[in-house]
């Protein structure tokens, strides 16, 4: 019975770590995307550059979620 509790605790810890990884990746992706829009709003990036960077960030976000 104790062995079952140990296994359950290990599985819960693993799941919590995965959730944390996804949250961190999502937060980083959101910050990067916000930076793209800020760059476009301030004129630091052209619309073409901003759209290109936005696409790159979306691809990175999807890739990080696929690995989670």
Say what percent of the chain tops pLDDT 70: 94
Domain extents for the chain? 2-67
Cα–Cα distance, 33 to 26 (Å, whole number): 10
9-34 pLDDT, tens digit per residue, is 888 899 999 889 888 877 887 888 88
Report CA 38 to chain centroid distance, whole Å: 19
Q: What are phi and psi of 49, to 5 degrees?
A: -65, -40
Global confidence as pTM: 0.60
Contact 40, 47 (CB under 8 A): yes
Cα–Cα distance, 12 to 18 (Å, whole number): 10
Cα–Cα distance, 17 to 9 (Å, whole number): 12
Select the more confidently predicted residue: 63 or 48: 48
Q: Is the pLDDT of residue 41 over 80?
A: yes
């Amino acid at each position: 019975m104790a062995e079952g509790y140990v296994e359950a605790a290990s599985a819960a810890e693993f799941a919590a770590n995965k959730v944390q990884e996804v949250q961190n990746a999502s937060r980083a992706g959101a910050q990067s995307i916000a930076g793209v829009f800020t760059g476009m709003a301030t004129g630091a990036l052209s619309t073409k550059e901003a759209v290109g960077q936005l696409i790159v960030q979306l691809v990175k976000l999807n890739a990080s979620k696929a690995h989670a």
